[in-house]
Amino acid sequence: MSDDVVLGHPTPAAVTDRICGIVLHERVGLWWWIALAASSALLGLGVVSVGWLFWKGVGVWGIDWPVVWGFAIINYVWWIAIASGGTFISALFFLVRVDWRTSINRIAETMMLCAAASAGIYPILHLGRPWFFYWLFPYPNTMTLWPQFRSPLLWDFMALLTYVVASVLFWYFGLLPDLAAMRDRARGRGAQMFYGVLAFGFRGTGGQWRHYKAAYGIMAALMAPLVVSVHSVVGLDFAGGETTGWHSTQFPPFFVFGALLSGFATVILLVIPMRHYFSLQTYITERHFDALGKLMVVSSLCMAYAYIMDVFTTFYGPDPADKTMFVARMFGRYAFVYWSTILFNVLLPQLLWVRRLRLNQPVLILVCLGAIVGMWFERVEIVVTSLHRTTLPSAWGDYWPTFWDWALMAGTIGLFLTMFLLLIRIVPTMSIAEMRELVRKREA
């Protein structure tokens, strides 16, 4: 196996031509059109289900007492976790100067953007009266009301708003030199104007580079703690409530661990087909799969620690309601959810201890799909099984999603895939500027 992050010795010019060429000069394969048709169909289903939701209200979902948080929260947390994993790769690994990050950074960032969009629509939709969502923001109003600043739900609004805006700006800022390269390589007048306007006149002058590098570095340094804070706040949405199974101090790091696992898994699942269909074997090598596979193992072990602590604190603690709920979680009617979580998030990723399996793409795809499904089950476990056995036995109840729950979830998957498929046809799939720098430094 080669440990190189780039195979052979491509020149900076070859790197630029290859990556620009994918978008500017190469025709897309049939696979892209099929994928776009399928994802658009899912997106269409999502639009219909949002329309129906607005028309009828949240009663079209399966939520009711005592399980008042259902798919909207489950899927919001699931998507925002996937997005967060992308930010870790693009920001944290930039700060520690990991060389293999360069090839997959743009894929991770684009994934983050699409997942954040899919996450971002849920908090609005789950409000009973979504048209009043702006009441969450402290603005001067005739009711002289203020939002409750001590509530984790308001923190979540601020954290998500900051995360989505900052992600878009960070992604776009990183694109500037590449958009300039696209402008200069484009042949048609329309493409030249399109990329010319998007590049804002970036020409790589001495001043532009100096300020660009300084700003990008600090943005990355801010994005890394931001993403930890965002997912910690999501954990606090739960931990802040005095609900069985939620009221735990380990929730913020527990949620961040989950974000790592599902984010890395999604990046791998996107990198494998893109490497194949865009023939990027020169730039995405076995080294990348090796490194990402190891990260899967690390984040899976972190999850295992969190699951063990979840059991330990419950049964070591004094609350009988907590213990009753946890027994129901492990052996009740939702036991399959709990054990699927353990299987997919803890046991299956252990395969990747073996180097040969890390480099085996079918195995890697299987483990990553498992982790994404497992992380979704984990959110079902946290939301549904905690609520369905509350402290008051007379209030116990079940939850099953309706067709419209599933339809909206399919719609967000459609939104994610449609956005991603369109973006990889518009912007370079790799950071050209960083890749040029990488190959230049290697040759030096």
Residues binding other proteins (CB under 8 A): 11-13, 16-17, 138, 144-150, 154-155, 158-159, 161-162, 165-166, 169-170, 172-173, 177, 180-181, 183-185, 196-197, 200-215, 218-219, 222-223, 225-226, 229-230, 233, 433, 436-437, 440
Nearest CB to other proteins, comparing residues 179 and 267: 179
For other proteins, the closer of residues 173 and 339 by Cβ is 173
Q: Is 339 exposed, middle or buried (0-12, 13-18, 19+ CB in 10 A)?
A: middle
Taking alpha carbons only, the member of 6, 108, 90 closest to residue 429 is 108
Give the number of residues written for the chain: 444
Cβ neighbours for 285, distance < 8 A, ≥ 6 positions apart: 2, 4, 5, 6, 7, 103
Indicate the residue among 4 and 437 with the shorter CB distance to other proteins: 437
Q: How near is the Cβ of 107 to other proteins at its closest, in Å? A: 21
In the complex, minimum distance from the CB of residue 213 to other proteins, in angstroms, rounded to a whole number? 6
Residue 393, judged by CB atoms within 10 A of its CB (0-12, 13-18, 19+), counts as exposed
Q: Which two tokens stand for residue 143?
A: 């009711």
| Contact by Cβ (8 Å): 112, 171 | yes
Nearer to other proteins, 138 or 397 (CB): 138
Give whichever of 286 and 437 is closer to other proteins, judged by the CB atom. 437
* Least Å from the CB of residue 174 to other proteins: 11
| Pair of tokens at residue 178 | 């590449």
Q: Closest distance between other proteins and the C-beta of residue 186, in Å?
A: 10
Find the helix packing angle between 101-125 and 30-56, rounded to 10°.
Answer: 20
User: By CB neighbour count within 10 A (0-12 exposed, 13-18 middle, 19+ buried), where does 203 fall?
Assistant: exposed
Of the pair 152, 414, the CB lying nearest other proteins is at: 152
CA end-to-end distance (rounded Å), the chain: 24
Q: How far is the CB of 216 from other proteins (least distance, A)?
A: 9
Tokens matching residue 427: 């912007």
CB of 200 to other proteins, least distance (A): 4
187 or 356, CB closer to other proteins?
187
**Considering the complex, what minimum distance in angstroms separates the CB of residue 139 from other proteins?**
11
- Least distance (Å) between residue 435 CB and other proteins: 11
- Which lies closer to other proteins via its Cβ, residue 11 or residue 249? 11
Minimum CB distance to other proteins smaller for 82 or for 226: 226
Q: Which residues contact 149 (CB under 8 A, 6 or more apart)?
A: 138
Helix (H, G, I), strand (E, B) or coil at 359: coil
Nearest to 258 by CA among 345, 184, 148: 345
CB of 89 to other proteins, least distance (A): 18
Compute the distance between CA of residue 443 and CA of residue 318 in angstroms, rounded to an integer.
63
CB 70 within 8 A of CB 405: yes
Residue with smaller CB distance to other proteins, 8 or 362:
8
Long-range contacts, 345-348 (Cβ 8 Å, 24+): 345/258, 345/261, 345/300, 345/303, 345/304, 345/307, 345/371, 345/374, 345/375, 345/378, 346/300, 346/303, 346/304, 346/307, 348/374
Task: Give me the least distance between CB of 244 and other proteins, in Å please.
Answer: 20
